[in-house]
Amino acid sequence: MATKSAVLGFPRIGPNREVKKAVESYWAFKTSAEDLEAAVKQVRKQRWQSIADKGVDSIPSGDFTLYDHFLDAANVVNAIPERYTKSGLSALDIAFAMGRGRQQLDKGIDLHAMEMKKWFDSNYHFVVPEISPSTQFKLNKNKYLDEYNEAKELGITTRPVVIGPITFLALSKAARDAPAGYEPLSALDSLLPVYVELLQQLKDAGVEHVQIDEPVLVQDKGESLGAEFAKVYKKLSEVSPKITLTTYFGRLGKSLDFVKDLPVYAVHIDLDRAAQQFDEVVAAVKPTKLVLSLGLVSGRSIWKNDLKASKEKAEKAIAELGQDRVVVSTSSSLLHTPVTLTSETRLTDEQMSWLSFALEKCDEVAVLAKALNGNTTEAFEKNTKDIAARREFERNSDSAVRDRLAAITEKDLKRSEEFPARRAAQVEYLGLPKFPTTTIGSFPQTKEIRVARAKFNKGELSKEDYEKAMEQEVETVVRFQEKCGLDLLVHGEPERNDMVQYFGEQLNGFIFTQLGWVQSYGSRYVRPPIIVSDVSRSGPMTVRWSKYADSLTKSPMKGMLTGPVTILNWSFPRADASREVQCKQLALALRDEVADLEAAGIKAIQVDEPAIREGLPLRKADWDNYLEWAVASFRLSTAVAESKTQIHSHFCYSDFNDIFAHIKALDTDVISIEASKADMKLIQTFKNEGYNSGIGPGLYDIHSPRVPSEEEMKEKVKTMLEILDANNFFINPDCGLKTRGWTETEQSLNNLVGTAKWARATYA
């Protein structure tokens, strides 16, 4: 028997972002639903064929999506809130409305988007289903079967990828009509028959093997669900094709005690993010008949796999279990990596030899399986040489950066005065009114901005002309803010391509791709920079733009920086240094930038950390170490500021109730949070924890094109002020405005300022 290879999932964006272009064209009413389907059908064909051409045995299907795979799962099982089904929209438009909202007031349509959260500890956002006792589960169109048949017509046999029923409910939230204390997992008995029908249809269609993803098993709460897993998988195994139960991003832990006894064909474990579980899992499954799928090729990093080391580990498993009971695989879906290196022209040959994107990882999996089956190819030998060359490069270091890092003391992590003294100084220095208004930083990135940047990058526009164009954009943003009546202004960030990439391009220690796009949410893609060596700052990165904006107005100007934890988490980090070391090196670079902004007369500085919660380890036992260095890194960045300089930070998807003490420990003067779609539970936490600094709970959802009315915002403020202190209350959107158009931005911000004026009059 031969050892097989598998890939758990693949990017769904297309090698040249074809899906983004097709979806956004449809949203703009430029193309039809039929045009959209024709375009994405070509992408699906291409991705299946490209994986098959690499020689991978188990090729995923059903993981493709136009917006979000978890949103798709909700639609498959009919977990669709009534407000969407009553809209009169098509099934396709209902799905998009659930993800991004929809506003057509002339047709009586005004739908908010559903809440989004981070997919475990990744930068991918999933749409959170809403479940209540009134949810009528049923099998809508079976997309998993449809995509399997579509691939089969192309002559490609695939393994459908299905979100498991327990993970689906565990990551859902109680709907608005659910009674207090309702838990979505209580709906498991109602949902289970839908999965039985879904899997029976797959089996009847000739599907031999299905992948069911249950990543909740790597979280603490998964360990308490043994009875539910036993019941569910007993029932599913009776009707399903062979099941590979898939976990990723962490270790099984105590869940292994019951997972090893489940009536499934195979269990998959992540040996990239949780290599320490290898021996324990092998020993646990050895007495059973389970096949073990080894996640040896990283689905999260872009570094070339050390095939020799992976082969040695797989051989240990084979020695214990036998050749036919071991599968080699990616550790998770490859959606977290760019599509392919083949189109890259920006990287040097040396840099290319270090890296492996999604398509190359498919090749690595197949080559590894061949080597385990006695066929050590030329590709395997080349991999060994490339890994050795990378290890040699890793021996280099910047002694100045290392020495500065070693010299950090506790004093470097503390502001010169405590918050009450800082607040008094800031009241006088900034002169802000009660309920001060501000934005989170970015303003719309118009077509003109993108065209100018593209021409500059191609050498078709001189640096002088490019900077003049950006200055004009900055002035437009400043004049609008003055006219609108905002209190604490920003320069709008027209010169920035991305909130992380922009800084990476000005720091030593990073390299960058040309087409290394990764999906963040919906049609929003990013190009994460790659950290390859010690990080340092060559000179000021943002001062020129903030200083120019400040010269245009008498209103206070807020400088905008991305925090060290977020730059780290939204980059591909190096593998040869700890995340703590990399984060603190970033913090030192940002510390110098804070000092330079302050010296340039910038009165407030926002250091964004939207990824601080995202980076939290999945097991609570692992939290303390991460939180200690994450908080220290932020404080290292900001503690250099004088008392009169107001330090802000922003947090997206701020599900940080459990770590609130550490949020307080950041010692910011003002924090803004995503709160437009969240319930009041988080807001209540600020009161319960005695948070006395400034707080700006976002009043409207910038991820949606809908414009919230002034009355809608007033109602939010009323509710929030039943909990929060009016004297600490800032009024702002819930995130940056980069992805929005100018018309909706102007309308929304005018309504926001109107809300602030009302609040000052009402709560004087």
Active site residues: 703
Q: How is residue 310 written in tokens?
A: 């992976």
Is 125 annotated in a binding site? The answer is no
127 close to 116: Cβ distance less than 8 angstroms: yes
- The DSSP annotation for 641-655 comes to S-TTSEEEEEESS--
DSSP 246: E
Long-range contact pairs involving 512-516 (C-beta distance under 8 Å, separation at least 24): 512/346, 513/338, 513/344, 513/346, 513/347, 514/343, 514/344, 514/345, 514/346, 514/347, 515/15, 515/16, 515/338, 515/339, 515/343, 515/344, 516/302, 516/338, 516/344, 516/357
From the DSSP assignment, how many helices (H) and strands (E) are in the chain?
Answer: 28, 23
Is 147 annotated in a binding site? The answer is no
Strand 507-511 relative to strand 530-537, pairing: antiparallel
Is 567 annotated in a binding site? The answer is no
For 154-213, the three-class secondary structure string (H helix, E strand, C coil) is: CCCCCEEEEECHHHHHHCCEECCCCCCCCCHHHHHHHHHHHHHHHHHHHHHCCCCEEEEE
**Alpha-carbon distance 750 to 129, whole Å?**
32
Is 545 annotated in a binding site? The answer is no
**Alpha-carbon distance 19 to 35, whole Å?**
12
- The DSSP annotation for 424-464 comes to HHHHHHH---SS-BB--SB----HHHHHHHHHHHTTSS-HH
**What is the number of other CB atoms lying within 10 angstroms of the CB of residue 240?**
24
11 close to 337: Cβ distance less than 8 angstroms: yes
**Alpha-carbon distance 107 to 96, whole Å?**
17
DSSP 708: P
Q: Is 406 exposed, middle or buried (0-12, 13-18, 19+ CB in 10 A)?
A: exposed
Is 442 annotated in a binding site? The answer is yes
Is 614 annotated in a binding site? The answer is no
Is 649 annotated in a binding site? The answer is no
Indicate the residue type of 305: N
For residue 245, give the H/E element and its range: strand 242-246
Measured in whole angstroms, the distance separating CA 364 from the mean position of its chain's CA atoms is 25
Is 584 annotated in a binding site? The answer is no
Indicate the residue type of 563: G
**Alpha-carbon distance 33 to 103, whole Å?**
19
On the CB side of 656, CA atoms within 13 Å amount to 27
**Alpha-carbon distance 16 to 297, whole Å?**
24
Q: What is the CA radius of gyration of the chain?
A: 26
Tokens 């598998």 — which residue? Answer: 6
Is 674 annotated in a binding site? The answer is yes
Is 441 annotated in a binding site? The answer is yes
Q: How is residue 500 written in tokens?
A: 């992380």
- Vertex 290, ends 289 and 294: CA angle to 5°? 145
**Alpha-carbon distance 244 to 269, whole Å?**
11
**What is the number of other CB atoms lying within 10 angstroms of the CB of residue 462?**
11
Using DSSP, state whether 336 is helix, strand or coil.
Answer: helix
Is 667 annotated in a binding site? The answer is no
Indicate the residue type of 619: R
Is 69 annotated in a binding site? The answer is no
Using DSSP, state whether 233 is helix, strand or coil.
Answer: helix
Using DSSP, state whether 560 is helix, strand or coil.
Answer: strand
**Alpha-carbon distance 71 to 80, whole Å?**
9
Binding positions for L-homocysteine = 440-442, 608
Binding positions for 5-methyltetrahydropteroyltri-L-glutamate = 20, 123, 570
Binding positions for L-methionine = 440-442, 493, 608
Binding positions = 20, 123, 440-442, 493, 570, 608, 650, 652, 674, 735
